[in-house]
């Protein structure tokens, strides 16, 4: 993992199992400010508030939380990071993902970023990874 989180110097990250590479950067010129996630030719966009909001939610949980990554079209398992990222009870009142059809995968792409920023610890097993606040 490296980079400063700008478009010219994005964070270079790996999925929690370590099987996929992707980059992320913060775009504060967007309204609302966004986290841009580039996975190959696919671009996902997340409301930048997800960083602080997810870190706060993890602190409230007080222990390990399953990631539960899922595409937008698939249901998220309750009690997971993915379910929180689309829940009406989160601080946004719904999806942190901003691009219709690509709003899911909060549980896949955001945990490594929070780990890079020193806000969380993430497991790196082949499957069923979890995260917790640091």
Give the pLDDT score at 1.
55
pTM assigned to the model: 0.95
pLDDT in tens, 13-63: 999 999 999 999 999 999 999 999 999 999 999 999 999 999 999 999 999
Confidence of residue 104 (pLDDT cuts 50, 70, 90): very high
pLDDT in tens, 117-127: 999 999 999 99
Q: Could you tell me which of 96, 61, 92, 66 has the C-alpha nearest to residue 78? A: 66
Tokens (6 digits) for 31:
């309204």
Q: In the predicted model, is pLDDT for residue 84 greater than 60? A: yes
């Amino acid at each position: 993992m490296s980079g400063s989180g700008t478009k010219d110097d994005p964070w270079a990250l790996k999925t929690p199992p370590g099987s996929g590479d992707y980059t992320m950067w913060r775009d504060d010129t967007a309204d609302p400010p966004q986290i841009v996630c580039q996975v190959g030719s696919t671009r996902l966009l997340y409301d930048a508030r997800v960083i602080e909001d997810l870190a706060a939610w993890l602190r409230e949980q007080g222990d390990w939380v399953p990631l539960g990554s899922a595409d937008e079209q698939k249901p998220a398992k309750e009690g997971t990071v993915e379910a929180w990222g689309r829940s009406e009870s989160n601080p946004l009142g719904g999806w942190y993902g901003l691009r219709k059809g690509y709003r899911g995968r909060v549980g896949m792409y955001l945990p490594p970023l929070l780990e890079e920023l020193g806000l969380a610890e993430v497991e790196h097993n082949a499957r069923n990874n979890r995260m917790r606040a640091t």
